Structure 1
C-alpha cells in the first residue's frame, strides 16, 4: 500500500509545480514524506517550474497543422526568443499542435490533460520543459477551423521552422472547386490576413466592447466639432461603420490592389471556377499579441548584480 495519498500528490504539485508522475515518484522514494519529496524534486530541478510560472512569457512560437479539411493553430509562449530556437521547445510545439488537431477542441485545459507522445500528459511535459529549459512556458490559445468540402490553407509568416513561426494563418474555404484553385486563392487570402490584421470575418463578428469603445471615441470627437446633435450622431455612426469596414475581413480592401473588397475577390474566384466559393472562417495568431511585456532596464540590472 502506498505511503501517500492523492491529497499528498495534489499538495506537492501545488507547492512545486512538478508533474503528477514526478510527484508520485518523489513521494514513493521518500516514503510519503512531503517535505523530503519537495527536496527530492528540487534536487532534480523539477520544483523550479513553480517559481518560473509567474514570469511573463510573451515570446515563443505559433504552430499550425492541417489534415484533410481541418486545421488548427496553437500559440505556446516562452520568456525569450532564444528558447523559440531551442529544438526541444520546437518539438514540443509541433507535438502539441498535432495533438490539438486530433482533439478538435479549442480548450487549453483539455489539451494539457491529453496524452503526450512518449508518455505522461501534455501538461506534465510542459512542466518538465520549464524545469529543464529554465524559462516559464505557457500554452496560451488554440483555434480550430474546418469545412465539409473544400480546403483549409495554412500560411506561416516569419517561419522559424516548418509550420512554426510568429504569425500563423489558416483560411477555410468551403467549395467544390478544384483543390489547386482553392489553394491558390487561400494562399493569397492568408497573406492578406497576415498583413491586414482583420479582427473578425464580418462586421457582425466584431467584439461588442471594441465597437462600444470606438463609438465612445467617435462621440467625443463629434462633440468637439460643435455641430448640432443630429449631425454629431451621424458623424458617430459614420465613424463606427468605417471602423467596421476596415477591420472585418470580408469588407477589407485586398492588399494586392488596395481597391477590391475581399468579398468580391472570393466571389470572382468562384465565378471563374464555375462554382461558389465561401470564405467560411480564418485564424490569425500573432505571437504575444495582447500580452503586456515587462520592461526592464538591462544596465540597471547589471549594475545591481555587480554591486551585490
Structure 2
C-alpha cells in the first residue's frame, strides 16, 4: 500500500492545482514522496504540452508594472476562462511580470529567455502549463519609457482578471488627465502616438485605397485631391492617438486635451486578451 495520506493529497493539490485522480496516482507511483510526485506530475504534463501545441489560447489576462523609468505590459494567454481567473494563473503572471521587468525585456523573445526561479520564463510557463494541463502562451510584451506613468487595467467581466491593459508614459503633473487619456486609449485603440509615427507605406496604401474608392464613386476629377486628403485625415484620426476625438468630449482632440493639461506623452501600449 502506498505510504501517503489525505493530508499529502491536500498539500500536493494546493501546491500544484492538479486533479484528485492525477494527484493520488502520482503519490502512489512516488510511494508517498511529495517531491518525487511533483516531478512525476511535471514530467507527465510536459509530454502533454506537445499535444496541446496547436490548441487556441483565447483567454488569459493582462498585467503591468513600473520599474524606474520604464513600464512593462504583458499578455499571458491560456485556453479557458476557468484557468484564467484561478489563483495559480494569477500567481504565474506575477512571477512572469517580475522576471520580465527585472530583465528589462522589451519583446516576447527577450522575455521568454529572462531568468525566473532558477530557470527561464519560458520554462516556468511550460512547467506550470504541464501541471494545470492547458496550453499557456506569453503572447505579447511591451516596454514604455517616461517620467511618469499611468496604468489602466480594465475588466470586461467582474468574474475575470483584467482583459484590457494600457500603460501610458508622460511628462507633466496632471495625473487625472493622464488617467483619462489611458482610459481613452483602452476604448479607442490607437496604433500610433502621432500621425508622423504612422509608417509611410501604410499611409500610401491607404491613399491608394481611398483614391480608388473615390474614383469608383464617380467623384469629379477636380474634387478628388481634396476628397482623398479628407479621407486620409480620417484615417489618421482612426490610428493616431493625438489626432483622435477625445472620448469624453468629441468636440476636442486628444492633442488639445493633452496640451491644455500641460502633458507630453512619451509613449503608450495597449493589449486586449485574444485580440
Same fold (TM over 0.5): yes
Decide whether aligned partners of structure 1 residues 59 and 221 sit closer, same or farther in structure 2, where only a CA change above 3 A counts: same
Q: Which residue of 2 aligns with 1:240?
A: 232
Please state if 1:74 is matched with 2:71. Answer: no
TM-score by length of 1: 0.70
CA distance in 1, matches of 2:93, 2:203: 34
Question: Deviation at 1:110?
Answer: 2.0
Decide whether aligned partners of structure 1 residues 230 and 101 sit closer, same or farther in structure 2, where only a CA change above 3 A counts: farther
Please state if 1:109 is matched with 2:95. Answer: no
The answer on whether the counterparts of 1:53 and 1:137 sit within 8 Å (CA) in structure 2 is no
Q: Which residue of 1 aligns with 2:11?
A: none
Question: Deviation at 1:47?
Answer: 0.8
Decide whether aligned partners of structure 1 residues 234 and 128 sit closer, same or farther in structure 2, where only a CA change above 3 A counts: same
Decide whether aligned partners of structure 1 residues 79 and 221 sit closer, same or farther in structure 2, where only a CA change above 3 A counts: same
Give CA-to-partner distance per residue, 1:242-285, whole Å, 9 cap, x none.
Answer: 11123211111111111111111111112xxxxxx311111111
Decide whether aligned partners of structure 1 residues 231 and 85 sit closer, same or farther in structure 2, where only a CA change above 3 A counts: same
Question: Deviation at 1:145?
Answer: 1.0
Q: 1:269 aligns with which of 253, 258, 261?
A: 261
CA distance in 1, matches of 2:222, 2:273: 43
Tell which has more relative contact order, 1 or 2 (C-alpha 8 A, sep 6+). 2
The answer on whether the counterparts of 2:72 and 2:142 sit within 8 Å (CA) in structure 1 is yes
Q: Extract unaligned runs of 5+ from structure 1.
A: 1-39, 271-276, 290-308
Q: Which residue of 2 aligns with 1:283?
A: 269
Q: 2:252 aligns with which of 236, 251, 260?
A: 260
Decide whether aligned partners of structure 1 residues 208 and 55 sit closer, same or farther in structure 2, where only a CA change above 3 A counts: farther
Matches within 5 A, 1:208-227: 208=200, 210-227=202-219
CA distance in 1, matches of 2:77, 2:229: 39
Decide whether aligned partners of structure 1 residues 92 and 218 sit closer, same or farther in structure 2, where only a CA change above 3 A counts: same
Question: Deviation at 1:210?
Answer: 4.3
Question: Deviation at 1:209?
Answer: 5.3
Secondary structure at the counterpart of residue 61 of structure 2 = strand
CA distance in 1, matches of 2:115, 2:165: 25
The answer on whether the counterparts of 2:42 and 2:131 sit within 8 Å (CA) in structure 1 is no
CA distance in 1, matches of 2:210, 2:227: 8
Decide whether aligned partners of structure 1 residues 247 and 109 sit closer, same or farther in structure 2, where only a CA change above 3 A counts: closer
Q: Extract unaligned runs of 5+ from structure 2.
A: 1-39
CA distance in 2, matches of 1:95, 1:249: 32
Aligned residues: 234
